[in-house]
Amino acid sequence: MISTIVKSFLVCFAFIATPSSANSIAAFNDSIASSETFRNRKLTLGIGSGVVYLGAIITLDQLWYADYDRSSFHFFNDNSQWLQMDKVGHSVTAYQFAQNANNACLWAGYSDKQSRNIAAGYGLLFQSTIELLDGFSSEWGASTGDVYANMIGIGSFWIQDRVWNEQRIQLKYSHMKSPYADLRPNTFGGNFNERLLKDYNGQTYWLSGNIHSFTNGKNKIPKWLNIAAGYGIDGVTGGEYNVANLPFFNRRRQYYLGLDMDLTKIKTKSKVMKIIFNTFSFIKFPSPALEMTKDGSKFHWLYF
């Protein structure tokens, strides 16, 4: 369901935006900080996370649920809708949430093991709360597909951190306005900010693998260079079926292969640039890409 993933996005980036948890703050981590400093950071993180959690849930409850009747807890099977684009979005959002929560925990002075476990717990708590609220709303319903997708995203972060102590394969996001957004502005968004979250046809989700990390540095390939595989959809104006009163569009899946940049691996002495690189590292960098669909393939000199 579009509404569910929008809620997940908002909760995720509300957490990322808090001063104690942003990637940019982790970039300022002082390796010789005193134990008192770390105690204060842990306290700040705990209070800040709690405030954001309660604030996000209260806000979501008022924005999405207040105008609809409550119901007994129930599930809704939406696994066949939107060519599973919403499920991929859930995984990417959950992954980014866990990754940023981990950075916040490291900043606060937790060990690697503690940080990844706490981050995974944070992710499950936030995402599961949204499903719980959906389950008690007559308009929506909890989705087992969403739950599994969230677990895949969080698991992708946790396993990589456990095995490699780094994220060699990042889950990323990119967006270009689709021609279908204007046909259903209430569904796909009536302005730029709404379309970033709602316009499935304009979104692409990526698996971005760092080449240097997989070769143990035994080549001259730049440390920031990635190979990315993407997934998107086109011609989809309705969940399971297209809307009848609109022109006919060919529903299809899109697969991409292209290049990307890991901004966090670009060397810079500028703290400002570190903030910028870490903050926007979840966005796939525009680059040449090959698009493949059931109708054939085509090359984009620049795809975002």
Q: Whole-number mean pLDDT of the chain?
A: 86
132 and 187 both lie in a single domain = no
Domain containing 260: what range? 168-304
Of the listed ranges 48-62, 235-249, 251-265, the least confidently predicted one is 48-62
61 and 78 both lie in a single domain = yes
Please work out, in degrees rounded to the nearest 5, the angle formed at the alpha carbon of residue 203 by the alpha carbons of 188 and 259.
Answer: 165
125 and 224 both lie in a single domain = no
Query: Taking residues 165-170, what's their average pLDDT?
Result: 95
- Our separate counts of H helices and E strands in the chain read 10, 6
- 3-class SS of residue 169: strand
Query: Taking residues 291-299, what's their average pLDDT?
Result: 95
134 and 185 both lie in a single domain = no
Contact between 97 and 123 under an 8 Å Cβ cutoff? The reply is yes
Query: Taking residues 244-250, what's their average pLDDT?
Result: 91
Contact between 204 and 233 under an 8 Å Cβ cutoff? The reply is no
24 and 105 both lie in a single domain = yes
- CA nearest to 118, candidates 64, 57, 46: 46
Note if the pTM is more than 0.85.
yes
Contact between 91 and 149 under an 8 Å Cβ cutoff? The reply is yes
284 and 262 both lie in a single domain = yes
Q: Quote the percentage of the chain above a pLDDT of 90.
A: 54
* Domain total of the chain: 2
pLDDT of 289 > 90? The answer is yes
77 and 143 both lie in a single domain = yes
